[in-house]
Amino acid sequence: MSKKSKKKGAFIIEREYIDDQRIIEPEHLKLEEVDMSGRWGVLVLPRTIEEFNHSLYEEIKNHPRGRNIHKCWQCGNCTAACPVAEENPLFNPRYFIHIVKMGYKLELEKFKDYIYLCGSCGRCSEVCPKGVDPSGVMEAIGTVLRRYKL
Ligand code: SF4
Ligand code: SF4
């Protein structure tokens, strides 16, 4: 009973960024006598992104505190050290930097209310191995979002 009510793909890292309809988790699946039901047979359908907005990235890079965003190599140290992310998994500085770099403006809009949760404590910048200053990048993202009136 409790198994059934569990969210599909609940075990996937950063699951909250995948829309429910893109996750296929078979209730009953056997392949060559091997039981692949449930999590063993999970399939995540690719998402299609048709709109890219690289001006957003340029604007953030031109912001005095966002200028090192290009150095990010997506290690996730910032998110691991962030007290806000610990409380709220939808707040993820590593992911926000990724979507800005890729130009996923619509995805950024989707998470805009979370982006403003940053408390500017600077812990992420202390642990960033690439000198990105993710705390500064968060400030820059907020400034640009306000400029776009998002
Ligand atoms: S500055 Fe913002 S993103 Fe960085 S650790 Fe603090 S709350 Fe998290
Ligand atoms: S710690 Fe630095 S390099 Fe690693 S994901 Fe965060 S911003 Fe990028």
Residues of the chain with pLDDT under 70: 1-5
Domains, the chain, with CATH or none: 11-44 (no CATH), 54-147 (1.10.1060.10)
- Return the amino acid letter for 113: D
DSSP bridge partners of 34: 31
Beta carbon of 63 within 6 Å of any ligand 2 atom: no
Closest ligand 2 atom to the C-alpha of 74? 5
Closest ligand 2 atom to the C-alpha of 134? 7
- Beta-carbon contacts of 73 under 8 Å, excluding residues fewer than 6 positions away, are 130
pLDDT reported for residue 1: 41
pLDDT reported for residue 5: 54
Task: Please write the tens of the pLDDT for every residue from 34-64.
Answer: 999 988 999 999 988 777 888 989 999 999 9
pLDDT reported for residue 148: 79
